[in-house]
Structure 1
């Protein structure tokens, strides 16, 4: 695992991050992009609705499995829109972002917007920190040797072969998100709880009712299994390359904001296709430094961030998509070694 870089000397103009932030702001990269998001929402929303129209037109046929595949892809794209809304990238006000997030997340794909926003905010505050980042909580997988040695139950059982089980487990990720969204409704601190609950259960009713109305029970079950499994794999393939296999922080690590975000994140190269498939989150370093930056601007911020990190001697990690998965799987296999003894 790569060693964490020590803090560099700061000059009189402020912190290392403050100087980078000024350059990014002067380049206009933090400004809203309403035209881009209007077009993106129209395309994604139109294609998402179009898949359901195709589902209704095809009717009782095994060709619906092809529809389930495209529905999984479009569900992932809707989830990426919900992500940008949660970060305040789209609208200027919190109310507008929350309203759109509830419609896109809860009603559109059955993802609890408020629950997920809270969880994701905690991840951004302490990325890859084994005590504070909920995304590396050892509930099923273990992300560090210390977690492996302290694990028990399911995590200990799976941890022995977790690298080989990672992608099969992703087929359950969408269902896990649905269940966690429902469980999140019990939190007394959840904002707009009744709206969250109403729209979430409306999604489940429309989803189950529509599928069961159009397909016999057997085909309906297969359709839902294919859709939810591929949806989970897609989400995992979007988010796993960003941090998995990067340094895991502990209570003893003392890093400033810039280093905490850059050293635990990985960019994924691949051009426009990867940008589209991953919703711009392949520029994860820039996203973690500037979470409210419109995702379309992250690519333009990349040269500025790379240059700044090089001047500071801070490691800036990027690789191809397949290489990122390989690094994540090798990391999972390595930290599970104590459980295989």
Structure 2
């Protein structure tokens, strides 16, 4: 995609005039295939494996003691944190439990206590993203906080986004090393926001997380090694998490205010699936089936592969574009988009 795509066609364009029954028919096919039923065994095994991996990382950390070998532990722990983030995501979507209370209780444990990220803040933010993916002004994931996601945002950018936006494609992965820190800082800031319904509880859990995290590091490691551990751990965690979420929508069409899309097209046209088999499924926690996940957010992860076949065939019947590519190609598309939308800023600086 040489140029960024913006969905702004008038309501008369055929692709925007389909009725809501299109999604109803797809939903019927998915339900008849039994793909919405809960998978307790799968999630018991998956969450158990992540818990064992986390316990193993802590055990090795304690055995190694004050050693530079702890940087290897930091890398492994970062991957475990990434898997915890994916687990928190599934809990927020009620893929694990059908009821709110157990989803919230385990979500608070995984997100606030283990990750140092506010479950309430992130769930609110992610819900708004799902409602309006890639919609300028409505999707918080494409707000111009540091990066710009459209040329219109670039032309109106001031301050840091204007400075970073000129070379944001080159800076994208280096900036991801700060994503873990950004999640924690944003979580503490959100405690004063109505989006967090239990600010005292979540604030207490977040403080507990960092007391254990930094207390453990500085009690076992020398200050220099502890700071190096934090840098490696948080940096790799940020890159991993960003690499999981970035291919899903970045570089896909942006939606302008006033554009009329039904639910099915709003989700399919702005999302990208990533091919890659079992390894990619595991690393991305099923989010490589982003189209199906956006259409059916509460669908358990192991059902997404089969849902992909049904959804792709159905989109072909309707003539709705369905985009799927490889992992490396997905990142190339996202980076190409970032470079393209930053062109007005580079032109202004010449």
Structure 1 length-normalised TM = 0.97
CA contact (8 A) 1:51 1:71 kept: yes
Alignment partner for residue 222 of structure 1, among 228, 244, 250? 228
* Contact 1:8-1:312 within 8 A present in 2 as well: no
Partner residue of 2:70 out of 64, 67, 82: 64
Q: Is the 8 A contact 1:130 1:250 kept in 2?
A: yes
Matched, 1:143 2:149: yes
Q: Which runs of 5+ in 2 are unaligned?
A: 8-13
Of 336, 340, 343, the residue aligned with 1:334 is 340
Give the unaligned 5+ runs of structure 1. none
Post-superposition CA distance 1:270-310 (Å, at most 9, x none): 00000000000000000000000011111110010001100
Query: Where does residue 33 of structure 1 map in the other structure?
Result: 39
SS of the aligned residue for 1:254 comes to: coil
Match of 1:162 among 168, 174, 184: 168
Aligned twin of 2:322: 316
Change beyond 3 A, Cα 1:243–1:106? same
Moved over 4 A (4+): 1-5
Deviations along 1:230-276, one digit per CA (max 9) or x if unpaired, are 00000100000000000011103110000000000000000000000
1:179 corresponds, among 159, 182, 185, to 185
The whole-number CA distance in structure 2 between the counterparts of 1:3 and 1:249 is 6
Q: 1:128 to 1:9 in 2, by over 3 A?
A: closer
Alignment correspondent of 1:236: 242
| 2:334 is aligned with 1:325 | no
- Provide TM-score, normalisation by structure 2: 0.95
Match of 2:131 in 1: 125
| 183-192 or 194-203, larger mean C-alpha shift | 183-192
For residues 1-341 of structure 1, what are the structure 2 equivalents within 5 Å?
Answer: 1=4, 6-7=15-16, 9-10=18-19, 15-341=21-347
Deviates more, 1:186-195 or 1:32-41: 186-195
Is the contact made by 1:102 and 1:113 (CA closer than 8 Å) also made in structure 2? yes
Give the length in aligned residue pairs.
338
Q: Using a 3 Å threshold, how does the CA distance of structure 1 residues 19 and 166 change in structure 2: closer, same or farther?
A: same
Q: Which has the higher contact order (CA 8 A, sep 6+)?
A: 2
Distance in 2 separating the partners of 1:145 and 1:222: 38
Write the distance in 1 (CA, Å) between the matches of 2:195 and 2:206.
17
